[in-house]
A = this chain, B = another copy of it.
Amino acid sequence: MSTKTRRRRPEARPDEILDAALSVFVEQGFTAARVEDIAKRAGLSKGAVYLYFPSKEAMLKALVEQSAGALATAAERLVSVGAPRDPEAALRGVIFMMITAMTDPDISAAPRLVLTEAHRFPDIAAHYRDRVLETARRAIATLAADGVKAGIFRPVDADMLMRCIGGPCLGHMMLASAFDFHPQDLKEPVDVADALSDLLLHGLKPREDA
């Protein structure tokens, strides 16, 4: 009987703890986060989480590693699948994916955490940079090169393009999460992604032909 029966070290435990840790870290920030709150949220006592992680910082590291891995493989897939056939569609796809991810608080939680805590943990920052950012940069550069080769993109600096794609997505997320500040008219993520893709592809100035 009893749902309250003590469970016997399920393999799921570490991930349950990490889920709890992520949410507390994001809400409170790493320093202000209390291990006891993480434990409570995972349905455990404080002592129990120390059976699975040697320290609070280890949880942060595990979390970052998880996130970095996921993002890196996403970026790598983008590189390899590459879509040299239709760079415009690929670009729209990337933007849609990013906006969608950033709009879901659960998905954006880890990147948000990394963003706010990275500079206090230089090794984490360096790892993330090498694993995620460099990979993303390469992906964008390849995408841009494909587009230029196909004659449908103007040549642009990859670093700039990276910032022009990621920046608005990042900004969109930070405005929402930090300030609860949302677009007035564009309600759906799809609309935001479309508007962003459109602006990025065609620019602010009207076509002078026609």
Q: How far is the CB of A202 from chain B (nearest CB, A)?
A: 4
Contacts of A195 in B (CB 8 A): 156-157, 160
- Say yes or no: is A66 at the interface (Cβ < 8 Å to chain B): no
The reply to whether B159 and A118 form a contact with Cβ atoms under 8 Å apart is: no
Known contacts: A208-B209, A209-B208. The answer to whether A160 contacts B179 by CB under 8 A is: no
- Give the docked Cα–Cα distance between A121 and B172 (Å): 20
Residues of B within 8 A of A47 (CB): none
**Contact indicator per residue, chain A 20-37, by CB within 8 Å of chain B (1) or not (0):** 000000011111100000
Chain A, 97-146, CB within 8 A of any chain B CB: 114-120, 125-126, 128-129, 133
Centre residue among A129, A172, A196, A199 by max chain B CB count within 10 A:
A199
Q: How large is the interface on A (under 10, 10 to 19, 20 to 34, 35 or more residues)?
A: 35 or more
Judge if A206 is at the interface, Cβ distance under 8 Å: yes
Identical copies in the complex: 2
For the complex, what is the distance from the CA of A182 to the CA of B115, rounded to whole Å? 16
Known: A160-B195, A160-B196, A186-B160. A179 touches B133 (CB 8 A): yes
Q: Is A183 an interface residue (CB 8 A)?
A: yes
Q: Are the C-beta atoms of A178 and B119 separated by less than 8 Å?
A: yes
**Contact A28 B160, beta carbon cutoff 8 Å:** no
Residues of chain A from 142 to 164 with CB closer than 8 A to chain B in the complex:
147, 151-154, 156-161, 163-164
A180 within 8 Å of B (CB atoms): yes
Q: Scan residues 15-74 of chain A and give those whose CB is less than 8 A from a CB of chain B.
A: 27-32
A42-B210 Cα distance, complex, nearest whole Å: 63
Which B residues are CB-close (under 8 A) to A147?
204
List, in ascending order, chain B residues with CB within 8 A of A151's CB: 206
